[in-house]
């Protein structure tokens, strides 16, 4: 027992430098953001070291500068609603496209699966900024899509897609689709297809087999892919900035605006912490779902 305790103590001492660096590099900046969210904004930037809850108040509410009446911060709520809406739509569309794709790859012969997975990961070889600009070149008024539609006589004037919510949605679906396909493939690859045959033998329809057998078994992969898509979509910055043109702002762009042109660091810090809490809630939901799948 003494030898085991000594070995454990030595292990902790050896890992202490890494733990200190991890605390300073991860927890330190997060603690600064938390502290800033309870301070007053400086006149031009930075913070004034006076404790206040005003930044958190201003996340959802605003006070009239003349009579002090309180009302909902419509602009902030619109940005939050747009972010959540587009993130949910991105998650649903990537699932609708990614599930058949993952099923197709998982049902290929083992010798060809690696090639299909290789094709799925190719977009990760290119910088996110370059991929986003590529999407903008396709959907702009003089881009590939409108040019092809005009050439075939399907439209008379170019369709305005760029700088809209639709453009942002298209860009995020393209960017985050591989993050949905890979977890789904991992779940489907472990699926026992004899269960599907058993369902058919019991005269179940294809829809019932999918709903009662396939989806419940691969649910951990669905949840994992949804988290991997929803979380970065909610805090996306580059894609909404380029494809939205700054007019259709999301939470990530709004936070950057507060630390930049808005010069309201406490409000930006409060928005950052709120976004972190939303992400934490999504991760806790994922942990709860996956833990319920494990055998007791």
Is 288 a member of any domain?
Answer: no
What whole-number distance in Å separates Cα of residue 179 and Cα of residue 80?
23
Is 55 a member of any domain?
Answer: no
Is 56 a member of any domain?
Answer: no
The runs of H, that is alpha helices, within 37-121 are: 54-60, 74-106, 110-121
What whole-number distance in Å separates Cα of residue 112 and Cα of residue 82?
40
Q: Which pLDDT value is given to residue 19?
A: 82
What pTM, to 2 d.p., does this model score? 0.86
Is 207 a member of any domain?
Answer: yes
The per-residue pLDDT of the chain, averaged, comes to: 88
Give the tens place of pLDDT for each residue, 49-82.
999 999 999 998 888 777 778 888 888 889 999 9
- Show the low-confidence residues of the chain (pLDDT under 70): 1-6, 290, 292-296
What whole-number distance in Å separates Cα of residue 46 and Cα of residue 64?
24
What whole-number distance in Å separates Cα of residue 142 and Cα of residue 132?
16
Largest CA distance in the chain: 84
* Tally of domains within the chain: 1
Q: Which pLDDT value is given to residue 175?
A: 93
State the residue range of the domain holding 95. 75-250
Q: Which pLDDT value is given to residue 296?
A: 47
The tokens describing 36, both together, are: 């800033």
Count the neighbouring beta carbons within 10 Å of the beta carbon of residue 184.
25
Is 259 a member of any domain?
Answer: no
Q: Which pLDDT value is given to residue 2?
A: 59
Is 92 a member of any domain?
Answer: yes
Is 203 a member of any domain?
Answer: yes
Query: Would you say 272 and 235 are in contact if contact means Cβ atoms under 8 Å apart?
Result: no
Strand pairing category for 47-51 and 61-63: unpaired
Count the neighbouring beta carbons within 10 Å of the beta carbon of residue 128.
16
What whole-number distance in Å separates Cα of residue 150 and Cα of residue 233?
32
What is the CATH classification number for the domain harbouring 117? 1.10.3720.10
Is 30 a member of any domain?
Answer: no
What whole-number distance in Å separates Cα of residue 208 and Cα of residue 230?
28
Say if residue 258 is exposed, middle or buried (CB neighbours under 10 Å; 0-12, 13-18, 19+): buried
Q: Which residue has the tokens 């709004």?
A: 254
What whole-number distance in Å separates Cα of residue 160 and Cα of residue 162?
6
């Amino acid at each position: 027992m003494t030898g085991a305790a000594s070995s454990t103590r030595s292990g902790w001492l050896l890992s202490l430098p890494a733990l200190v660096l991890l605390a300073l590099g991860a927890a330190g900046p997060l603690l600064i953001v938390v502290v800033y969210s309870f301070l007053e904004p400086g006149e031009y930037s930075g913070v004034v070291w006076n404790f206040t809850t005003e930044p958190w108040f201003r996340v959802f509410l605003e006070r009239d500068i003349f009579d002090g009446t309180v009302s909902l911060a419509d602009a902030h709520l619109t940005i939050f609603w747009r972010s959540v809406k587009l993130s949910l739509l991105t998650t649903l569309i990537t699932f609708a496209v990614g599930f058949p794709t993952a099923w197709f790859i998982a049902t290929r012969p083992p010798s060809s699966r690696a090639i299909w997975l290789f094709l799925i990961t190719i977009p990760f070889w290119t910088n996110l900024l370059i991929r986003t600009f590529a999407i903008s070149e396709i959907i702009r008024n003089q881009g590939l899509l409108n040019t092809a539609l005009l050439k075939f006589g399907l439209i008379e004037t170019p369709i305005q897609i760029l700088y809209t919510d639709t453009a942002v949605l298209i860009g995020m679906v393209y960017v985050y689709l591989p993050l949905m396909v890979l977890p789904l493939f991992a779940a489907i690859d472990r699926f026992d297809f004899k269960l599907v045959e058993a369902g058919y033998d019991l005269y179940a329809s294809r829809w019932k087999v999918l709903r009662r057998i396939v989806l419940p078994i691969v649910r951990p992969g669905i949840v994992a892919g949804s988290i991997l898509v929803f979380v970065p979509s909610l805090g996306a910055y580059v894609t909404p900035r380029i494809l939205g043109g700054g007019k259709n702002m999301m939470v990530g762009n709004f936070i950057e605006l507060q630390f930049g042109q808005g010069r309201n660091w406490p409000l930006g810090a409060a928005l950052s912490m709120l976004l972190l809490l939303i992400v934490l809630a999504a991760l806790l939901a994922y942990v709860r779902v996956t833990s319920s799948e494990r055998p007791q």
